[in-house]
């Protein structure tokens, strides 16, 4: 059984959704038959490469609100994340274009480290407020994931895996997804957003029942 997850590294609800999926899988008796496939998605592909903006400032511009208003809006997601053991740091967070970070996740995927890559990069962005378009930072994280530093740097300074990232985004669009997280089970069931744990549990059971 295949579970595909479209996610962006800068997406706070994606990390929450990841935790809930993991919990559902932990309680799913056929979890060893589940192949988890991480797919790339960019929330804002138009965010200029090379630009770094404080998260609150970036959201305020996008929402035509003040930074204080945006702080208030983020309270809910911070509270929900905390319930999942994730302590987000938006105060120091920096918004960047995530395309290169996604290319790195595809290198990791090729090495059997896709899940570790998404976990480490989301934690770096959302919890640790690291700057994820900085090559040195990404290489450091790549090493933590278990990747070869030289290979990671080669990927990051070139354009390898561009087609793979674009292919993932195109696949999400073809399915009609406009936001993330987006979960698809065996190309039969779709789950949009950070749904409650019970939804993931039920979806795994339904997808498995359909398969056998």
Partner 1 sequence: MRASEADPDRAPEPVPAPEPGGDEQPLPVFRGLVTLGTEDAPACSDGICF
Contact set with partner 1 (CB under 8 A): 2, 4, 8, 11-14, 16, 25, 31-32, 34-39, 43-44, 47, 59, 62-63, 70, 73-74, 76-77, 80, 109-116, 164, 167-168, 171, 174-182, 184, 186-196, 199, 202-203, 206, 210
For partner 1, the closer of residues 75 and 136 by Cβ is 75
For partner 1, the closer of residues 100 and 115 by Cβ is 115
First-to-last C-alpha distance (Å) of the chain: 10
Residue carrying structure tokens 């790195």 = 104
CB of 153 to partner 1, least distance (A): 21
For partner 1, the closer of residues 135 and 186 by Cβ is 186
CB atoms within 10 A of CB 67: 14
85 and 119 in contact (C-beta within 8 Å)? no
CB of 200 to partner 1, least distance (A): 9
Characterize the bridge pairing of strands 182-185 and 2-7. Answer: antiparallel
CB of 93 to partner 1, least distance (A): 12
176 burial via Cβ count (<10 Å: 0-12, 13-18, 19+):
exposed
For partner 1, the closer of residues 136 and 148 by Cβ is 148
Query: Which of 87, 75, 92 lies closest to 129 in space, CA to CA?
Result: 92
């Amino acid at each position: 059984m295949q579970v595909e997850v479209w996610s962006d590294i800068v997406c706070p609800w994606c990390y929450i959704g990841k935790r809930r999926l993991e919990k559902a899988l932990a309680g799913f008796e056929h979890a060893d038959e589940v192949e988890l496939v991480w797919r790339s998605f960019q929330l804002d592909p138009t965010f200029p490469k090379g630009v770094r903006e404080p998260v609150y400032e970036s959201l305020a511009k996008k929402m035509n609100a003040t930074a204080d208003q945006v702080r208030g809006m983020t309270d809910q997601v911070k509270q929900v994340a905390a319930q999942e053991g994730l302590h987000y740091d938006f105060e120091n967070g920096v918004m960047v274009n995530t395309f290169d970070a996604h290319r790195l996740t595809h290198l990791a995927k090729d090495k059997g480290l896709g899940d570790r890559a998404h976990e480490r990069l989301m934690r770096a962005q959302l919890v640790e407020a690291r700057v994820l378009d900085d090559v040195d930072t990404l290489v450091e994280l790549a090493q933590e994931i278990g990747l070869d530093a030289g290979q990671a740097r080669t990927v990051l300074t070139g354009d390898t895996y561009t087609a793979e990232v674009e292919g993932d985004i195109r696949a999400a669009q073809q399915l009609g997804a406009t936001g993330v997280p987006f979960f698809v089970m065996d190309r039969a069931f779709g789950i949009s957003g950070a749904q409650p744990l019970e939804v993931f549990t039920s979806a795994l059971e339904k997808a498995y029942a359909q398969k056998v």
